[in-house]
Structure 1
Amino acid sequence: MWLFFPINWPISPPPREYRQNNTVKLFFGALNRQADWQAILPTLNQVLADYGEQIAAQVIHDREFFEALAITNKVFEPFCDYERYQALLRTCDIALLPLNPTAFNSMKSDLKFIECAGHGVTVLASPTVYEASIQSGETGLIYNSLTEFSAQLRQLIENPSFRQQLANNAYQWVKQNRLLAQHYRRRWDWYCQMRDELPRLTQELWQRVPELRQNLN
């Protein structure tokens, strides 16, 4: 029996207080996403070139993306613990969430959107995975082409009130819909059902993988 639960956050962080300056900080932090960001990189660099020192960037883990990003005001953080990851994320304004439309990517979760929303970071995301969670124009932006990616990124850079409204909407959506306290009962009921059916499930497992039973002897 398979049951998939959406990713839910254990707590809601406090609302974001935004710094008052003209710098817009981008965020990118992911593992094994080279194939996903390569398609947007030329367009991304074209956009960033038009804004000069107004743009900063925080990159976590992906050194190749960091080096390819054609701005000088950028900071690289190696692979880090989750507390550090969240602290760095919370300092940013716009998160880039590209995912190519592949079978592998379609099995990913929307965790990065949940993280960004919880920390007041506006997302610019591909439709793969994220269109099921993000209401484009309300809780983030979804791009369906490089032309849309360019136009939407410029809009987020140039319009801080719109950018922050999207982030605030996303924060409220996560707070109202994706906290663990709102969904634990369903998960608990499933665990109890698995416990009640443990003898049958164990027998079925041993039939599929008899080596496991042999290792118990």
Structure 2
Amino acid sequence: MKERFHIFQFATSPVCAPYRIWAPGKQLARHENLKVTAFEQMDGQILRSLLEDGDMLIVQRVTMSRKFFKLLTAVNRSGILLVYEIDDDLLNLDSDSRFARTVPGDFSDRIKQAISCSHAVQCSTHHLARVISEFHPEVVVLENQLEHLPLLVDKNMQDRPLIIGYAAGEHHWLDWQTVKDAYNHLIAELENSGHNIETWIMGDKAIYDSLDTQNKKYFPLASREDYLEMLSCFDISLIPLSDSLFNRSKSDVKFLESASRGCAVIASTTVYSDSIRHEQTGLLFSGQREFQVCLKGLICNPARIPQLGKNAYNDVKKNRLLSRHINKWEATYRSWFENKNALLSNVPAKQNFVVSGI
């Protein structure tokens, strides 16, 4: 058995890489007899180093192409394990979503080809693992965790509006539709009765435009650091999700991020029922009426907001820091390496398909 194990990580998604590539790689590199090389561009120098010294290559959300097929062939001939990293169900995009409209028509097929030709797959949720296991035999769940927590700062809620925030990103209009009418009706009712409320939307301008209230602010997409700083300003963080096949495979990372900033979270039961303890670490809803009950309850009883935020923060601190889980990542990689010959032998037949039209 080789004493020194060299892992190469190919990051292609700036949004997902901090949880799936950068943070795990940094912590793994501290382990004895492990070396990690992470990169965003596969240039000639990286490729030579990989083929000369690599034991495993982890690729993130790559579609099948002639270039990728050549890489597959090279690593297979060199006896290097290729692990496919995926943290969204890119095989089952919501057809009406903006993201689905921006990718080529054969996008999901190419994702499936790339996964099928890899030796192993790591993903972020059990639901996604079940989807991939239908056509790939070697799938392991490595859940998203937080690399670190900032200090929890008490929110001074006196003499200012209550801030309700939705960090919507770019592609969450369909999710917002599940609560839009309920939100507008409730906020109008509460503002008319004298409640001082502001709604902050980050990312999706259409969601901001759909708000009936004048007490609203819009913030464009920002760096990860600025996004997390924005969460610190939210008193209540909204996380609605439509119950779609694509969404069911999502991770709970939005809860982890909001909890890390002491927000009181109101989230859909889709995905978040496995992470949030209702009335303890956040509030869960499964329809517009439940959503209104949760939101109105917090707005009318603001003393509950910091307590829910503190509970969520402490729950994440106790259970969801990467340092408590990194040994599973290392054990998974070492297990794959120990079974390297079996994993390598499974793939050549899959790689013999004709790569046409790529």
TM (normalized to structure 2)?
Answer: 0.57
Q: Which runs of 5+ in 1 are unaligned?
A: 213-217
The question of 1:163 aligning with 2:295 is answered no
| Structure 1 counterpart of 2:251, one-letter code | S
Task: Name whichever of 97-106 and 15-24 sits farther off.
Answer: 15-24
Q: Which residue of 2 aligns with 1:38?
A: 177
Higher strand share goes to which structure?
2
1:15 to 120, 134, 152: 152
Structure 1 Cα separation of the partners of residues 353 and 289 of structure 2: 55
Deviations 1:67-95 (A, max 9, x none): 11122222212221100100111100111
Look up the match of 1:205. 347
8 A Cα contact 1:43 1:146, kept in partner:
yes
Are 2:284 and 1:142 aligned? Answer: yes
Instruction: Find the aligned partners of 1:145 and 1:181 in 2 and give their Cα distance.
Output: 36
Q: Which amino acid aligns with 1:26?
A: I
Residue by residue over 1:13-46, the C-alpha shift from the partner in whole angstroms, topping out at 9 and shown as x without a partner, is 1112202324111111233111111121111011
Per the alignment, residue 26 of structure 1 pairs with 164
Paired residues in the alignment total: 212
1:48 aligns to 2:187 (yes or no): yes
2:271 to 124, 129, 150: 129
Distance (Å, rounded) in 2 between the aligned partners of 1:146 and 1:56: 20
Q: Which residue of 2 aligns with 1:4?
A: 141
Pairing of 1:60-139 with structure 2 (within 5 A): 60-139=202-281
Question: Once the 2 structures are TM-superposed, how far is the Cα of residue 154 of structure 1 from its aligned partner?
Answer: 0.8
Identify, as 1 or 2, the structure richer in helix: 1
Moved >3 Å (runs of 4+): none
* Structure number with bigger Rg: 2
Q: Are 1:58 and 1:88, in contact at CA under 8 Å, matched by a contact in 2?
A: no
What TM-score does the superposition give when structure 1 sets the normalisation length?
0.92
What residue number does 1:183 align with?
325
Higher relative contact order (CA 8 A, sep 6+): 1
Pick which of 25-34 and 115-124 moved more.
25-34
**Aligned CA-pair RMSD:** 1.7
